[in-house]
Amino acid sequence: MNSLPDTPFEASASLDVRADFPALHQEINGRPLVYLDSAASAQQPQVVIDAVSRYQSHDHANVHRGVHTLSHRATDAYESARNRIRAFINAASLSEVVFTKGTTESINLVAQSFARPRLKPGDRIVVSHMEHHANIVPWQIVCGQTGAELVVTPIDERGQLDLEALDRQLDDRVAMLAIGHVSNALGTINPIADICRLAHERDIPVLVDGAQGVPHGSVDVAALGCDFYAFSGHKMFGPTGTGVLYGREALLEDMPPYQGGGDMILEVRFDGTVYNELPYKFEAGTPNISGFVGLAAAVDYLETIGMQRIARHEQALLGILTKRLGDIPGVRLIGTAAHKASVQSFVVEDIHPHDIGTLVDQQGVAIRTGHHCAMPVMQYFDVPGTARASLALYNDENDVDRLIAALDRAIRMFQ
Ligand code: PMP
């Protein structure tokens, strides 16, 4: 992201937005819920829930082809969501904003529709060792289909990308670089603008997995200079089943459709079908209309608070969380990069991460445990999994206190 400050240890003033999130106001196992699992899926503010409900209650119909009033309303709502999201990420035109069901679908679309027709045996696709499975497996599949080879950029013991190795790897055999903006397992922020410059000097297109980038700082795809940027609505306080693929118009224009069906065509004949213009060429079938209405409301909500404020708040809180966790005897922090966002993974000596997760849940604290869909990261650090606390704009120091107290208690039970 472009806006993260470098001041991780300043005091964390609460953004005071908890009241906006109804799911946070409940008891779990007799204790007020502390939600520290937003990297998996973020809670939704009331304005998002209301926008979806209002649309479902008053405006719902299928989009694009109807002449009746409700269809016009639904189309307006859906297309104005596209425009909100275009502005949010600073895409140049609406043609560059393809709606999908999530980051996973966005990456698969690029692998199949952009990479597959261009790849030949011996070509290379570069990914990093810290990628989520969604930014590994689609490339493995396309390598299997084409005879291309997957090359992995190493990371170091702090969970940082080895940029010198990447520089060496990006040679004329490389047809594509696919890299995460922020690692969901480690929290590492990769220097995407620099990486894109490096790749483009060698005419290598870059896809950025932005699933963990968009919720935590302002993302400007033009400033980053990437060719594709994929992200998910549910990580940015919107509904599940919504996602976005940003792609440069010239590249999208050249790509064949990913799926065929209604809405992605202009004319269908048995002797040949004419595909629709961008972005509809990539949106076959009835989309998740209410979901994107909700996502637009989430974008409005985030912009009202301000992405820079959110980034500053989360940085400060992450500094506090990391320090407090690191001070607990027996805790090993996994992911200690110089530039990080909103995630701290850790393991506790002699206690399985799942036991940690279960024990803190009994005290009302929700964290995620396991491999976080990043098994190669677990393999690198030689751990079966980690416990991971992830922060969002609604977390505050009280949440950190509650996690630390719950962990202390869990660890004492094993002594
Ligand atoms: N990439 C990263 C970095 C992620 O954190 C996630 C979700 N955990 C994904 C990709 C996949 O996102 P989705 O399941 O919403 O498609």
Q: Write out pLDDT tens, residues 167-178.
A: 999 999 999 999
pLDDT at position 7: 41
Report how far apart, in Å, the C-alpha atoms of 400 and of each of 12, 205, 317, 389 are: 11, 40, 8, 9
Question: Where does residue 352 rank: exposed (0-12), middle (13-18), buried (19+ CB within 10 A)?
Answer: middle
Whether 59 is in the pocket of ligand 1, judged by its Cβ within 6 Å, is no
Q: How far is the CA of 159 from the centre of ligand 1 (A)?
A: 18
Outline which parts of the chain fall under CATH 3.40.640.10. Answer: 48-303
Peptide bond into 22 cis (omega under 30): no
Assign residue 241 a region (left: φ > 0; alpha: ψ between -120 and 50; beta: otherwise). left
Query: For residue 9, is pLDDT > 50?
Result: no
Ligand 1 centroid to 260 CA: how many Å? 25
pLDDT at residue 3, as a whole number: 46
In ligand 1, which atom is closest to the CA atom of 240? 15
* C-alpha–C-alpha distance, residues 229 and 223, integer Å: 12
pLDDT digits (tens, 9 = 90+) for 199-226: 999 999 999 999 999 999 999 999 999 9
Cβ 342 under 6 angstroms from ligand 1: no
pLDDT tens, position by position, 288-300: 999 999 999 999 9
Clarify whether 143 is annotated catalytic: no
**Concatenated DSSP letters of 338-383:** SSB-SEEEEEETTB-HHHHHHHHHTTTEE-EEE-TT-HHHHHHHT-
Specify the ligand 1 atom closest to the Cα of 105.
16
Is the predicted pLDDT of residue 5 greater than 50, yes or no?
Answer: no
Closest atom of ligand 1 relative to the 209 alpha carbon:
1
360-398 pLDDT, tens per residue? 999 999 999 999 999 999 999 999 999 999 999 999 999
Q: Which pLDDT value is given to residue 226?
A: 98
What is the mean predicted confidence (pLDDT) over 230-250? 98
- The pTM (predicted TM-score) of the whole model is 0.97
Sign for the CA dihedral angle at 171, 174, 176, 177 comes to negative
Q: What is the token pair recorded at 64?
A: 């694009």
Phi/psi of residue 232, nearest 5 degrees: -120, 140
Mean pLDDT of 189-200: 98
- Mean pLDDT across the chain: 96
User: How is domain 48-303 classified at the CATH fold level?
Assistant: Aspartate Aminotransferase; domain 2 (3.40.640)
- At residue 83, φ and ψ (nearest 5 deg) are -70, -35
Is the shortest distance between the CB of 141 and ligand 1 below 6 Å? no
Is CATH 3.40.50.880 what the domain over 18-44+306-413 is classified as, yes or no?
no
Instruction: Write out the residue limits of the CATH 3.90.1150.10 domain(s) in the chain.
Output: 18-44+306-413
What would the mean pLDDT of 86-98 be, rounded to a whole number?
Answer: 98
Contact criterion met (CB below 8 Å) for 208 and 214: no
Compute the average pLDDT of residues 17-21.
98
Per-residue confidence band for 74, with pLDDT thresholds at 50, 70 and 90 = very high
